[in-house]
């Protein structure tokens, strides 16, 4: 795994979170499905950085994990479905069963249907966006080696 590939994964995951994941949250909140809003700039413990930047940082970490695995996703529709399911299932399970309880919330977010659906959709959107950005950044990298 090259440093360039790790950086690509991080940047793709960070941007996918800050832009596409949060846009999905905003849309779901606008139609009354999401129990929380998008682009939360409230300070988070322990460093006091805005929540959306903390979330985007962790999206970058997930992007590194995903870029190491995405070559196994298949081709065509299977690739995009796998990217959606990686985001929608893998990251959601970690969020609901590890992160939320560590922050004092109920296991599985209390299994509230609106929350579960929101988390699955927004993280699935993140997966597709990160996979798309892998390709965009890959083409940019290929172009820069030609120049």
What would the pLDDT profile of 50-90 be if each residue is shown by its tens digit?
999 999 999 999 999 999 999 999 999 999 999 999 999 99
pLDDT at 46 over 90: no
- Over residues 128-143, the mean pLDDT reads 84
The answer to whether 124 touches 85, Cβ cutoff 8 Å, is yes
Peptide bond into 12 cis (omega under 30): no
**E strand spans, 7-126:** 43-44, 49-50
Give the pLDDT confidence score for residue 145 in this predicted structure: 44
The answer to whether 79 touches 41, Cβ cutoff 8 Å, is no
146 belongs to a structural domain = no
Residue 40's contacts (CB-CB under 8 Å, 6 or more residues apart) are 50, 51, 52
In the chain, the number of structural domains is 1
pLDDT tier, 14 (very low <50, low <70, confident <90, very high otherwise): very high
Residue 86: domain span? 3-140
- Per-range mean pLDDT, top range of 25-29, 33-37, 142-146: 25-29
145 belongs to a structural domain = no
- In a 13 Å sphere around the CA of 146, the CA atoms on its Cβ side amount to 6
Output the average pLDDT for the chain.
Answer: 92
41 belongs to a structural domain = yes
Tokens of 22: 């949060």
- Gyration radius (Cα) of the chain, Å: 16
68 belongs to a structural domain = yes
130 belongs to a structural domain = yes
What pTM was estimated for this model as a whole?
A: 0.91
């Amino acid at each position: 795994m090259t440093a360039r590939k790790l950086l690509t994964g991080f940047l793709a995951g960070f941007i996918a979170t800050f832009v596409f994941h949060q846009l999905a949250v905003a849309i779901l909140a606008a139609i009354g499905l999401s129990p929380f809003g998008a682009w939360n700039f409230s300070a988070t413990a322990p460093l006091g950085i805005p929540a959306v930047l903390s979330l985007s940082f962790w999206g970058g970490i997930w992007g590194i994990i995903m870029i190491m695995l995405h070559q196994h996703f298949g081709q065509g529709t299977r690739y995009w479905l796998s990217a959606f399911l990686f985001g929608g299932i893998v990251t959601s399970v970690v969020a609901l069963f590890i992160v939320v309880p560590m922050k004092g919330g109920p296991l599985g977010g209390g299994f509230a249907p609106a929350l579960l659906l929101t988390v699955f959709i927004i993280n699935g959107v993140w997966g597709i966006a990160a996979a798309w950005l892998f390709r965009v950044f890959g083409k940019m990298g290929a172009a820069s080696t030609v120049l």
